[in-house]
Chain A
Amino acid sequence: EVQLVESGGGLVQPGGSLRLSCAASGFTVSSNYMSWVRQAPGKGLEWVSIIYSSGNTYYADSMKGRFTISRDNSKNTLYLQMNSLRAEDTAVYYCTMSNHPGDYFDYWGQGTLVTVSS
């Protein structure tokens, strides 16, 4: 059974950093397409970043240069390093998995809340 469990969210001040983790089970992270998708409180969904099975990484324009997606194959875990955080980054961050090249999202974690506030 595919399971995705996010952690690492919390309260951070503007300009601060946070690293989110997504522990995967039931499949191999490095063999699939892993993304982060976020949802601001009461708002819609926004794609953040993707790492392909090849290791190539891509980001939404507003996250480029601030966020870094990575994976640890030995731990079967996905990460999102977030720097220079802004109030508008406040959201629930979901880890997702796709087992195909198309960028739609088959499996979702339960999400972790990031709050950027002073």
Chain B
Amino acid sequence: EIVMTQSPATLSVSPGERATLSCRASQNVNRHLAWYQQKPGQAPRLLIYVSSTRATGVPARFSGSGSGTEFTLTISSLQSEDFAVYYCQQYDSWPLFGPGTKVDIK
């Protein structure tokens, strides 16, 4: 059974700074990894799939990387609208989400 972990649980960042979020799978999920953004009271929004492909309309400041068991979501220069919770999700087997990383204002 795959286990997904994300670190850190909370990331405090100043606007304009770079944010790096990590996601780890307990076994190889190849590049079958997606990232979502969720703001309070809203549904999640797909940001990245196949580890590094941006979904339609996602700004270029969001980038994903990794394969196998280690993945990273990078936000190059945080904007006010980027403060949210970010979830990774593997789909190499049945869909499984990580516990999330909250990005808040420093």
- Min Cβ gap A113→B in Å is 12
Classify chain B's interface size.
20 to 34
A104 touches B100 (CB 8 A): no
Tell me, yes or no, whether A44 is within 8 Å of chain B by CB.
Answer: yes
Tell me, yes or no, whether B98 is within 8 Å of chain A by CB.
Answer: yes
Chain B at the A interface: mostly helix, strand, loop or mixed?
Answer: loop
Known contacts A58-B94, A102-B49, A104-B34; decide if A45 and B44 are in contact (CB<8 Å): yes
Question: What is the count of residue pairs linking A and B with beta-carbon distances less than 8 angstroms?
Answer: 53
B99 touches A60 (CB 8 A): no
Interchain CA distance A58-B93 in the complex, whole Å: 12
Residues 78 to 101 of chain B near chain A (Cβ within 8 Å): 87, 89, 91, 94-100
Instruction: Collect the chain B residues with CB atoms within 8 Å of residue A104's CB.
Output: 34, 46, 49, 89, 91, 95
Tell me, yes or no, whether B54 is within 8 Å of chain A by CB.
Answer: no
A103 touches B55 (CB 8 A): no
7 A-B residue pairs with CB within 8 Å: A35-B95, A37-B95, A44-B97, A45-B44, A103-B95, A104-B95, A105-B34
The chain B residues found within 8 Å of chain A, CB to CB, are 32, 34, 36, 42-46, 49-50, 55, 87, 89, 91, 94-100
